[in-house]
């Protein structure tokens, strides 16, 4: 490891180690929610200097290397016949929008449990045109929460729009909270049976 954080390959075995290291960094950051500065500190404890700037540069470089795989996953998702979509707000510090403005991470899911495809896409907008682009070329079913834009998106794409049972159930849960204890317990038991009857894949 050089002083500037770069890697000096002195042995062919390092070519085999680097992909494993990159996989570890990516998994730790995006699956285990471990920021790069924490990973930097962890490596320091083992006597390895791996600055967060170097890690970030590797992450960016990986987007080019992995693009063909992402394209294939996107193609399979669009041809699956059943796509789930959702959007969630994220904070973006360096943006043309005001610091308090909302930005959005769009998530699409398709495929059976053992072959799941999950794709994330960022956009500063929550507009229906973003969803239009994300499901272009899809056929079959589009499942989402109650965000009204999805109804128009499904209609324009010729998809059958289906609701989300978990979101529907959460509405009942909210209404149970102010109920008397006995009534709430009875309704909660019914909801539990209702949930048990559903098969989530």
Query: How do residues 147-189 score in pLDDT, each as one tens digit?
Result: 888 999 999 999 999 987 776 666 666 766 666 665 666 666 7
Find, among 79, 84, 128, 86, the residue nearest to 106 by Cα.
Answer: 86
Contact 195, 169 (CB under 8 A): yes
Q: What is the mean pLDDT of residues 22-32?
A: 93
Least confident of 51-55, 108-112, 159-163, 174-178: 174-178
Q: What is the mean pLDDT of residues 10-18?
A: 56
Helices of type H across 31-164 = 36-45, 52-65, 67-78, 128-135, 149-157
- Residue identified by tokens 């992450």 is 59
Rounded to whole angstroms, how far apart are CA atoms 77 and 160?
16
pLDDT at residue 142 in the model: 96
Q: What is the mean pLDDT of residues 100-120?
A: 92
pLDDT at residue 111 greater than cutoff 60: yes
Q: What does the mean pLDDT of the chain come to?
A: 84
Rounded to whole angstroms, how far apart are CA atoms 199 and 185?
23
Contact 104, 55 (CB under 8 A): no
On whether the pTM is more than 0.85, the answer is no
Q: In a 10 Å sphere around its CB, with 0-12 CB exposed, 13-18 middle and 19+ buried, how is residue 134 labelled?
A: buried
Contact 29, 35 (CB under 8 A): yes
- Return the higher-pLDDT residue of 92 and 188: 92
- Return the higher-pLDDT residue of 20 and 97: 20
Q: pLDDT-based confidence at 10, cuts 50/70/90?
A: very low
């Amino acid at each position: 490891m050089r002083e500037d954080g770069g890697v000096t390959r002195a042995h062919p075995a390092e070519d085999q180690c680097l992909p494993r290291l990159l996989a570890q960094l990516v998994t730790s950051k995006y699956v285990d929610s471990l920021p790069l500065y924490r990973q930097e500190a962890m490596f320091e404890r083992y006597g390895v200097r791996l600055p967060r700037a170097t890690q970030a540069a590797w992450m960016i470089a990986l987007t080019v290397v992995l693009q063909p795989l992402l394209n294939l996953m996107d193609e399979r998702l669009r041809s699956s016949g059943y796509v789930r979509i959702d959007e969630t707000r994220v904070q973006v510090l360096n943006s043309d929008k005001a610091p308090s403005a909302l930005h959005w991470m769009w998530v699409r899911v398709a495929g059976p449990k053992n072959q799941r495809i999950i794709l994330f896409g960022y956009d500063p907008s929550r507009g229906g045109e973003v969803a239009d682009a994300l499901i272009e070329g899809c056929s079959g079913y589009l499942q989402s929460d109650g965000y009204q834009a999805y109804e128009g998106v499904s209609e324009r794409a010729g998809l059958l729009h289906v609701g989300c049972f978990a979101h529907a159930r959460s509405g009942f849960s909210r209404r149970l909270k102010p109920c008397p204890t006995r009534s709430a317990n009875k309704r909660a038991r019914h909801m539990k049976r209702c949930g048990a009857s559903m098969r989530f894949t």
